[in-house]
Amino acid sequence: MRNSFWVLSLLVLSAAGCAQEEPVPAAVDSPVEESEKVAAPAKAEQKAAVATQHRPLSRAEITEGWIQLFDGESLFGWKATNDVNWSVENGEIVASAGEPGWLNTTTQFADYELRCECWVEKGGNSGLFLRAPLEPQDPSADCYEFNLCDTHAAFATASLVTRQQPAQPVANDGEWVAYHITVGGNQIIAKVDGKTVLDFTDESPDRPVTGYIGLQFREGTVKFRNIALKPLGTSPIFNGTDLTGWRVVEGGKSTFEVQEGAIHVSDGRGYLESESTWDDFVLQAEIISNGEHLNSGIFFRALPAPSADQMNGYEAQVRNEWKGDDRNQPVDFGTGGIYRRVPTRRVISSDHEWFTMTVIAQAAHVAVWVDGFPVTDWTDERAPAENPREGLRTAAGHFSIQGHDPTTDLSFRKLRVAKLPPPRIKETP
């Protein structure tokens, strides 16, 4: 799949950071000069050409659980370790100057499939760092470094530095190469154009089991695009047939029943609570709102509900509503926001359409994707408390599906969860 360009079907919107308590402000219109009007067709044509550099996920990929680590328009969900000039150009992450350093995901991952297209200037030196701390010191112990350097004397492109050479040479300099890397348990498998070029098993007892994904700048211009990840190891927590493993909180008015393989909730306020508890996890679920601007949510790390009137947990909000025509201005925190804590930066989902929500919680950090698009990246900096309504809770708690009011009419299906190991060295992104 080298040198391939895919057409962007997702609307290209202005980059938006994660606000802490306010929605992203709408863009302000400015007067258009006559010269700009004349140049408009050329600009539109140029914008269309630029847009082809980033490929959004297909519906099939979203259904399979894939999420975008890079949205093609901003560095949302990434954090640099130093002053490297990381930027977004033409749907690509680019770096060309500065002291050697990394651009890391703000979320840590354990087992996953990773897809990434990489370009390294001839004679350049870069790498993809897997299960890494923020600033790796020893690729033989504290991370896995997938090298991108054709001229490296000992470990060339597609090798794991200090660990294993590729099964066959991979030319990387000056051209786009699409890598597909599976990190599962103690095994790392890398493919190029569908062919396996690396298959490594780590037998060490203290091997890395979780960490950040890092893009390295070391020498020469480097570029990355179409970075996507599929979490591995998720298991169903709803069997699609009945409510085994769940309990209805007493005193509520909601009706919870299984319809066509989904949990359907209707009528007044109430909660359906999981019998199992989870602390650090990946949760993925498909959801549909069968009415206009309905309000619901999935609670996590929740205390056992004292009644149907109160749920003490974090809430991944479900509400497909925005102000005016601007999806960057969510109403009531918006789908994918953490209710009362941080609004979604963009309302991706729409009523009457199934969408996928992915929630990753590890220690104080929470990230949310809607239909694979990153919408929330938040660290709970409050003082610890048993009740998440009052402060940071990292201890295990229940999942809970909310029935909000008499208009409630939503369905939830394909709920699946993977437990995550504790984060690396208690770092705060």
Which CATH number is 391's domain given?
Answer: 2.60.120.560
- Considering the domain architecture, whether residues 247 and 150 belong to the same structural domain is answered as no
- Considering the domain architecture, whether residues 222 and 241 belong to the same structural domain is answered as no
Structural domain of 126: 59-231
Tokens of 130: 């897997």
> 3-state SS string over 319-364?
CCCEECCEEEEECCCCCCCECCCECCCCCCCCCCCCEEEEEEEECC
The backbone torsions φ and ψ at residue 39, rounded to the nearest 5 degrees and listed phi first, read -85, -5
Does the pLDDT of residue 366 top 90, yes or no? yes
- Considering the domain architecture, whether residues 244 and 386 belong to the same structural domain is answered as yes
Of 116, 94, 85, which Cα lies nearest the Cα of 221?
94
- Considering the domain architecture, whether residues 343 and 379 belong to the same structural domain is answered as yes
Is 429 within a domain?
no
- Considering the domain architecture, whether residues 206 and 256 belong to the same structural domain is answered as no
Q: Collect all residues with Cβ–Cβ distance below 8 Å to 363 and sequence separation of at least 6.
A: 280, 394, 422, 423, 426
Q: Tens of pLDDT along 174-184?
A: 999 999 999 99
Section 73-92 average pLDDT: 97
H or E element in which residue 119 lies: strand 112-120
Section 21-43 average pLDDT: 36
Does the pLDDT of residue 91 top 60, yes or no? yes
Is 332 within a domain?
yes
- Considering the domain architecture, whether residues 259 and 404 belong to the same structural domain is answered as yes
Is 427 within a domain?
no
- Of 209, 231, 253, the last residue of a domain is 231
- Considering the domain architecture, whether residues 124 and 85 belong to the same structural domain is answered as yes
Of 4, 14, 23, which Cα lies nearest the Cα of 343?
23
- Of 231, 258, 281, the last residue of a domain is 231
Higher-scoring residue by pLDDT: 117, 13:
117
Is 1 within a domain?
no
Is 53 within a domain?
no
- Considering the domain architecture, whether residues 325 and 384 belong to the same structural domain is answered as yes
67, 228 in Cβ contact below 8 A?
Answer: yes
Tell how far CA 261 is from the center of its chain. 26
- Considering the domain architecture, whether residues 180 and 275 belong to the same structural domain is answered as no
- Of 231, 254, 287, the last residue of a domain is 231
Q: Tens of pLDDT along 164-204?
A: 999 999 988 999 999 999 999 999 999 998 899 999 999 99
- Considering the domain architecture, whether residues 319 and 373 belong to the same structural domain is answered as yes
Is 78 within a domain?
yes
Question: Considering its fold, how many domains does the chain have in total?
Answer: 2
Is 271 within a domain?
yes
Is 372 within a domain?
yes
Residue 48 has what pLDDT? 44
